[in-house]
Amino acid sequence: MKKVKYFIMFFLISIFLLLTPTMVNADDKFNSTSNLNGVTANWEYRLNNSNQIIDLKCTNAKELKGDITIPSTIDGKTVTSIGMDGFKSATSITGVTFPDTIKKIELWAFNRCTNLSKVDFGSIERIAEKAFQDCTSLTNIKIPKTINKGTAGSPFLGCNNLKYIEFEEGITIIPDFICGSTPIEEIIVPNSVKEIGVYAFSNCTSLKKITILDNVEKMDGDWYDYIFDKHNPELTVYCYKDSAAAKYAEKFNIKCVYLEKNTKTNNEENKKVENKENENKGLISKENLPIIIGVGIGILILLAIIIVLCILKNKNKNKNKN
């Protein structure tokens, strides 16, 4: 019986010791400083179980200015996420570049950064709801192919001038809410995309044209138009007949224009013909003209020499006969 008690005590103590580091890392906050574009940035962060920095926050974000690059390491530890309110109301920053180590941007991370006009997302995988709320100077962004997780609300809510959003070729999913409540007017879904998440383009009241080819296999919306909720009445989906996009548009009475599948092939053939013509034109371009003339003159001189030699040879033969 005593052995059983000792075993149970040993087991519980072992679990406690194993969990203690996790609990400490989850709650403890650390502080540090570094130079960020000429300003001493005061950092606050936590550590995960892999001793990597999570929930990074700049406690003096309002002092930052210009284009900033967030450090990939602080105190020798890898930075993996920007925490809630991380750079909130940093109204003097104009651009931000994320290192490839950062995978997540949390709620309100850049809320009200009203002069922020350039963002390089690096290798971000998830952008939380309202992460860039009210960044009114943003006019265009490029969503990286690494993004693969949706969120519970629009990351760019209140970005009233964000009219152009591009998805990097290679992206496989358009995440939930990613373009929600933005004033975008046209979207081209890359050929690499397989799935479009719920509310991905919801409340995009200026969106009138979206191109979705038959590479997209899944569009969430069993009984309700989750993807284009509250869309512009003039929204038109350009797609192939019988594709997932066509079926979705038909199901929810969204305007649809069918593309011809051979259009792409014809365009490619036309480009090939144009390239060949350009190559042929290139052979007699102004730059090549002196070379062509020189070669022609050389050939004529060579022919003249051959003719003269032949004449002289015939004359010698005639003399020998005589």
Instruction: Indicate the fold that domain 139-261 takes in CATH.
Output: 3.80.10
Identify the H or E element spanning 275: helix 263-283
CB 26 within 8 A of CB 52: no
| DSSP 8-state assignment for residue 319 | H
From first to last of its 322 residues, what are the pLDDT tens digits of the chain?
A: 444 444 444 444 444 444 444 444 446 999 999 999 899 999 999 999 999 999 999 999 999 999 999 999 999 999 999 999 999 999 999 999 999 999 999 999 999 999 999 999 999 999 999 999 999 999 999 999 999 988 889 999 999 999 999 999 999 999 999 999 999 999 999 999 999 999 999 999 999 999 999 999 999 878 899 999 999 999 999 999 999 999 999 999 999 999 998 654 344 444 454 455 445 545 455 555 566 677 677 787 877 788 777 777 776 666 655 5
CA separation for the pair 292, 299 (Å, rounded): 11
Q: Please state the domain extents for the chain.
A: 139-261, 275-314
pTM: 0.74
User: Encoding tokens for residue 259?
Assistant: 């593309």
CA separation for the pair 210, 227 (Å, rounded): 12
Q: How many CA atoms lie within 13 A of 123 on its CB side?
A: 8
What backbone torsions phi and psi does residue 37 show, to the nearest 5 degrees? 55, 45
CA separation for the pair 84, 110 (Å, rounded): 9
Identify the H or E element spanning 58: strand 53-58
**Cα 319 to the center of its chain, rounded Å:** 86
CA separation for the pair 121, 164 (Å, rounded): 15
